[in-house]
Amino acid sequence: MDKISSPAEFQVAIQSPRLTVAVFKADWCSDCKFIDPFMPEVEQKYEDRLTLVEVDVDAVGDVSQEQNILGIPSFVAYSDGRELVRFVNKLRKSREEIENFLNRALEVYLSIHK
């Protein structure tokens, strides 16, 4: 997963016409560490259909605030600079919940890009 460490990198990533899912995280976040072991497998499973990028909330300045990220880890799907759908809450996220969100993001993306 590519790491986004500046507001400019974030803007470039979300402008892609491809479905891009930003994973907002931080080093100090225990719930973020919980998803680390299985995220490479999840990324591999979806790599032909979407791009996952990791956004360090401490490194990207106001991006998290601008995107209204209130809890981490949070997942937000973008295409062509537009937010399509988000999975944002303060609860720990399971692999199943993350994959369900990615499937929903793909459905929304495909409904727009027919």
- Strand boundaries in the chain, DSSP class E: 2-4, 20-25, 51-56, 74-79, 82-87
29 tagged catalytic: yes
Q: Which of 1, 7, 16, 29 is flagged as catalytic?
A: 29
Which among 22, 52, 49 has a CA at the least distance from the CA of 113?
A: 49
Distance of CA 93 to the CA centre of its chain: 13
Catalytic residue among 13, 19, 23, 32: 32
What type of residue sits at position 67? Q
- Count helices and strands (H / E) in the chain: 5, 5
Query: Is 1 assigned a catalytic role?
Result: no
Alpha carbon distance 22, 104 (integer Å): 15
Just list the catalytic residues: 29, 32
